[in-house]
Amino acid sequence: MPAPTSINPNNALNFSGGPGALPQGVLTQVQAAIQNVPEVGLSILGISHRSDWFAAVVQELEDNIRALLGLDNTYHVLFLQGGATQQFSMVPMSFLAGKIQLPEYLHTGYWSSKALGEARRITPLRVLWDGESQGFSRLPRDEELDFSADAPYFHYISNETVEGLQFNRVLGRDDVPRICDMSSDFLSKPCEAERFSLIYAHAQKNIGPAGVTVVLIRDELLHTMPDNLPGWLDYRSHIKAHSNYNTPPVFAIYVVLLITRW
């Protein structure tokens, strides 16, 4: 039976920045899975993260996300913990080895302030445009941005939910790794994902419950990473372990799978 395309009309409307409302058809499937996943005979809350069933869930979800975004196998799809906040640190830890030039960031609102704060713990950086003096009331125009061809990467937030500011175009240079926090609009619209070297999005704003963060990373970006990163903070560890380096959030990942099926 096809899943309904609307939320439960009996639920209150939530106009806060998140979590996003999930479709009623997905909620019904989640409700049933909490009692019993038929092909396993257990509640989703009690299924082992080392089971063949969960490995199949992860593989299907990887495939679904690639298909939805039109990405090939040159991109790795990861399901990590720590939210976007962990990515604010992992990105500068991972992609500055041997680099002289500074990474480039935009300061467009609350979430970019968080990203900048974490990155500055690790490296000096170049802020290409800063909207704080204007109260984060607008986004930069193309002519206000002077991108460097030598930057190790360029980072920005696609949608600043606190201020209500969303980019409707891809920024940056195609010859510089483009990294974007798409937490609040991931899978909500086309995004030319193939133009990005790394995309991350925590699930709770748009595609599921809190606890899992989707990371898409182009394979060639891995070759620039240092060798002395802690295992849990090394994208390569999670790729090798198929997002099972440590106990993953089985329930949250399963709900995201249901969303991609829907």
| Phi, then psi, of 185 in degrees rounded to 5 | -135, 15
Residue 154: is it exposed, middle or buried by C-beta count within 10 angstroms (0-12/13-18/19+)?
A: buried
- Whether 114 is catalytic is no
- Give Cβ neighbours of residue 255 (< 8 Å, ≥ 6 apart): 22, 26, 30, 203, 208, 209
In whole angstroms, give the CA distance from residue 144 to residue 163.
20
**Residue 145: how many CB atoms within 10 A of its CB?**
15
SS3 of residue 89 by DSSP = helix
- And the tokens for 132? 């704080």
Q: Where are the beta strands (DSSP E) in the chain?
A: 75-80, 104-107, 126-130, 154-157, 159-160, 165-166, 178-181, 198-202, 213-218
Residue 226, preceding peptide bond in cis (omega within 30° of 0): no
Catalytic residue (one of 99, 129, 130, 205) = 205
194 CB neighbour count, 10 Å cutoff: 13
Q: How many CB atoms lie within 10 A of CB 76?
A: 22
Q: Which residues are catalytic?
A: 111, 181, 205
